Amino acid sequence: MLLSLLLATWIYLQHFISFYNTVMKLIFLGSSFSIVWYIRRHKIVRRSYDKDQDTFRHFFLILPCLLLALVINEKFTFKEVMWTFSLFLEAVAILPQLVLLQRTRNIDNLTGQYVFLLGAYRALYILNWMYRYFTEDHYVHWITWISGLVQTLLYADFFYYYFQSWKNNEKLHLPA
């Protein structure tokens, strides 16, 4: 997740669209970096990390995303490849968290709500893309759409169990 954030920061700051857009990007990046800091450095939250359960190896995601970005991009430039790499990496960055939650089966309210809101954020992005497709000329970014759909599909199973636990007023559990 940190690598994806660093790539996104570099790319976001390369292209000025508007003052509003820049402020929103800085708020998004600032809140994302603060969440990463909170998870890694806050003494109470850091103690909840179980290294024995967290066995997912990040290189299983980074290398395929980089290779895919080198092969599938709209134009073969450094900036375009890095942008595509960040999209592909962002699409699968939640996998280690989902695997860990499924393995431990112990999901506290804060973690469950955080993962749910991350998925809702991406699902709302898809609605925005559909709106822009119908209201703006030539708004087709197929790499963005595909990576966003892949990311939302990865959340779909979590959404199902999240809503089931909410509907039944039970603690959230993912199947093993």
pLDDT tens for each residue of 55-99: 888 778 899 999 999 998 888 888 888 888 988 998 898 888 888
C-alpha pair distances (Å), 66 with each of 74, 83, 89 = 15, 10, 8
Query: For 2-6, 20-24, 138-142, which range has the lowest pLDDT when averaged over its residues?
Result: 2-6
What lies within 8 Å, CB to CB, of 102 at 6+ separation is 174, 175, 176
Establish if 146 belongs to a structural domain: yes
Query: Which pLDDT score is estimated for 141?
Result: 78
Establish if 42 belongs to a structural domain: yes
Give the domain range for residue 16. 1-49
Tell me the H-state helices in 53-141: 59-71, 78-92, 95-104, 109-135
Is the confidence at residue 105, as pLDDT, over 80?
Answer: no
Establish if 41 belongs to a structural domain: yes
Establish if 66 belongs to a structural domain: no
Domains identified in the chain, total number: 2
Same structural domain, 173 and 98: yes
Same structural domain, 108 and 167: yes
Establish if 141 belongs to a structural domain: yes
Same structural domain, 94 and 42: no
Query: Which pLDDT score is estimated for 13?
Result: 65
3 with 62: CB under 8 angstroms? yes
7 with 86: CB under 8 angstroms? yes
Establish if 56 belongs to a structural domain: no
